[in-house]
Amino acid sequence: MVFERPRAVNEIAAALDVNWRTADRYLKELEEKTGALSLHTFREGTRGALKVVYWKSQPLPSSSKIQDALKEKILRGVDKADFSTFEIYQHIDPTKRNAFWEEKKKKSKIFFYGTRNLKKSAEEAKNEWLYFCGDMSWIMKESTALSILEKVARKGVSVRILARIDFTNLSFTEKMLKLNKKFGSDAIDLRHIHQPLRGEIVDEQVARFVETSLSTVQERGKEALAFYEIYAEEWIIWLKEIFRELYAQGIPAEKRLEDMKTIRRLPFK
């Protein structure tokens, strides 16, 4: 609260649901121990005295250090178990985030929330749709995935996808690339790379991520996914920078497929 703008002590007290003296004591301790805050009393000694707390230190280096550390973990990761989106989520303003989990009822069923968001994102996207994938198994299970991608491409939205391209999704990859020939453009840009994130960024409106490593869900002994939604613009911009860095390292899907097709089966003698 204080980082956003100076606050009266009674405003802090109301937000914490404590009395004025308790809030004042907390603030004095933070002022002494961290040096980040400073207290000042206007019209001291009068009935209209007003005690205000404001941010004294520079916040940007601290925020930058957190993001730098997280970025290093993401870029080092190759599998979804190597990084939890909660590591990002916990640093975001509670008013600009959302999270929940969904239990999978049957193995043959797609998670309702994820399927709904694939369609929702297609409608929301106006300029750019960035997708962090694994082996694309989830998208391949969604029967309308290709038609959704086609719909987005028709709108002129730039779709960029990071995924592991191998023999398990070779056919699906080819089908996606055929959409570009259909439109005579590179509306869908797919690149091969191993990275730990699973999710999407729609313009600078929202970033949605999913993970299966939430321990509180696993302890229930049920198959489930945890979903995170991020609306904080500064974090979305930061995530887009990470996407572009991974994208620059990725191998174009066309090149990947071309090289994969040079592998021939050894004939039996």
- Give the per-residue pLDDT at 71: 94
- Give the model's confidence band at 255: pLDDT under 50 very low, under 70 low, under 90 confident, else very high: very high
Question: How far apart are alpha carbons 199 and 216 in whole angstroms?
Answer: 21
Q: Looking at per-residue confidence, does 215 or 13 come out higher?
A: 13
Q: 129 pLDDT exceeds 70? A: yes
pTM higher than 0.75, yes or no?
Answer: no
> What are the tens digits of pLDDT across the range 69-123?
999 999 999 998 899 999 999 999 999 999 987 776 555 444 455 556 677 777 7
Burial class (CB in 10 A: 0-12, 13-18, 19+), 158: middle
* DSSP notation for 58-124: --HHHHHHHHHHHHHHHHH--SGGG--THHHHTTS-GGGEEEEEEE---TTSPPHHHHHHHHHHHHH
Nearest Cα neighbor of 190 from 204, 176, 211, 171 is 176
Quick one: which of 208, 176, 210 has its CA closest to 196?
210
The domain ranges of the chain are 7-55, 60-260
22-45 pLDDT, tens digit each: 999 888 888 776 667 888 888 777
Looking at domain 60-260, what is its CATH homologous superfamily?
Answer: Endonuclease Chain A (3.30.870.10)
